Amino acid sequence: MLQTFSYVAPDSRKDLLAILNKEGTRAKILAGGTDLMVDIRGGKIAPAFVVDIKKIADLKGVSYSATEGLSIGAVTTCIELVTDKTIVAKFPIIADAASRLGSTQLRNRATIAGNICTASPCADLSCAMLALGASVEIASMTGTRIVKLADFFTGVKTTVIKADELVTRLIVAPELVNAKFGMEKLKRIKGHDLSLASVAVVKTGTLLRVALGSCAPTPIVLPDFPANAPLASILEVAGKTIKPIDDVRASKEYRKMMIMTFIEQIILRL
């Protein structure tokens, strides 16, 4: 049964931050609701206030500048990431990752910040954004801070965000514009499903970066490699870093084997 809560939908960032500041842990942010409503309905959380952020205009939209790089507003949906011309042309790994998330219905609602703030080890956008070395802009009534996505996750479904804060946008530095990329996602079924193991790789003329999902308590990124790093050394670092779990969906051995296989396939392709 769905428990009772108050629903508020402020239309300015100032009003939203004031609500978060006043209500603290009694409030929960609602973006697409594809995780939040499942958690409320399942009784995992029981917020007194659900604060819808989709009416706030300055949390929307994608922009790019050669000096600052890519900025993606928090409430940008997966379908917008898949179709946005700037993203498709300059950072296609984001469009690719968004296209793999759930079903069409989910992609129409699920937002980039929601996927990242859920902090699931298998979140598709977290993996791609880690490979791009993205940063997260976080705002509260006292100001704004920028956190590297690699430092954003603190454990399974936990992050550095405090109760009075919200993620306002994701930022990708211009250095990786037009980088080559590869992504693989292992699922139990051919249709929409969460990943059992996922790998995202970006490569420029000088740098190769590998991010991994579903193989540790959080999505993870390996230390940067030079573009010409031998495959064996990348696999060795990956093998020492990952800590997949056994669960009803897959064994840790299977996850590990698939992570290694995906890394090899992608690197050979690139």
Ligand X SMILES: Cc1cc2nc3c(=O)[nH]c(=O)nc-3n(C[C@H](O)[C@H](O)[C@H](O)COP(=O)(O)OP(=O)(O)OC[C@H]3O[C@@H](n4cnc5c(N)ncnc54)[C@H](O)[C@@H]3O)c2cc1C
Nearest CA-CA partner of 71 in 52, 94, 55: 94
Structure tokens, 140? 């509260």
Query: In terms of CB distance, is 166 or 197 closer to ligand X?
Result: 166
Q: How far is the CB of 173 from ligand X (least distance, A)?
A: 21
Q: According to the binding rule CB under 6 A, does residue 38 interact with ligand X?
A: yes
Q: Which of 17, 20, 23, 28 lies at the binding interface for ligand X (CB under 6 A)?
A: 28
Nearest CA-CA partner of 197 in 249, 236, 138: 249
> Which positions from 121 to 140 touch ligand X by CB under 6 A, shown as an x/- string?
--xx----------------
Q: According to the binding rule CB under 6 A, does residue 170 interact with ligand X?
A: no
Query: In terms of CB distance, is 163 or 231 closer to ligand X?
Result: 163
Query: In terms of CB distance, is 59 or 234 closer to ligand X?
Result: 59
Q: According to the binding rule CB under 6 A, does residue 101 interact with ligand X?
A: yes
Residues that bind ligand X (CB under 6 A): 28-36, 38, 53, 74, 101-102, 106, 109-111, 113-115, 117-118, 123-124, 161, 166-167, 192, 194
